[in-house]
A = this chain, B = another copy of it.
Amino acid sequence: MEQQKKFYSIPTLRRLPNYLRELKRLRDGGMERVSSPTLAKALRIDAISVRKDLEMIGMTGSPGVGYRTADLLLGIERFLGWQNASEAFLVGLGEFGRALLAYRGFDEFGLRIVAAFDETRRDAPESSLHDVPVFGLDQFPHLAERLKIRMAILCVPDDRAQEIAEFLVQCGILAIWNFTSPTLQLPDGIIRQKVNLAGDLAVLSVKLAEKLKNEPA
């Protein structure tokens, strides 16, 4: 059987949550239809990009009439697979991991953190944090298998990141959201997104210092 290669653009994918937010606002305001220029204005892009974005996920509007708000909402949620929340395990309960657990906003994006793990809790009794059950990392293989979890949020200390990421992949994890600094060396097929806060801050600090130096006092 020939595999269908799907095409999608990363910038479009990254904009989809913005469409969802705007469409929910319109729906809640009783707007049954929406035009591409309206969406374009809300998202601060041009109307042609809006039409292209929505075409990519298989939605086309009617000329002069636009899109049905409810259809668009459902279409985007379906495309993202967000009608059924994505499930993920969070690994590493240092300060940042705990902060992410405390943050409930992921629900809105259809992400459900099913359980959290920490190396230092090996052999610790089961417990929970912000209503999410917490386990030692030794429980990861068993639970990943049983619950068929394929996505992990990695918040471990930087010097443990590579080794633990390899372990997660051995346990069947296919997508890693990496909040640690190191760049992970993993098999090609593993899906990765990286949030490098220390790196961001380095860029901001140096550019700002440069700017202040070059400015008249």
Contact = CB atoms under 8 A, between A and B. Distances in A.
B150 A206 contact: no
A108 B197 CA distance: 11
A13 interface: yes
A111 to B, nearest CB: 6
A124 interface: no
Interface in A17-60: 17-18, 21, 25, 43-44
Interface residues of A, number: 68
Contacts of A18: 158, 181-182, 198
Nearest to A157: B21
Contacts of A183: 44
A106 B99 CA distance: 13
Contact of A202 (B13, B104, B195): B13
Given A110-B205, A203-B193, A95 B86 contact: no
Interface in A155-171: 158-159, 162
A209 interface: yes
Contacts of A198: 17-18, 108-109
B151 A10 contact: no
Nearest to A209: B81
A143 interface: no
Contacts of A81: 205-206, 209
Interface in A179-208: 181-183, 185, 189, 191, 193, 195-208
Contacts of A25: 159
A112 to B, nearest CB: 11
A99 B95 CA distance: 9
A69 to B, nearest CB: 17
B44 A185 contact: yes
Given A96-B105, A109-B197, A199-B17, A208 B174 contact: yes
A103 B181 CA distance: 16
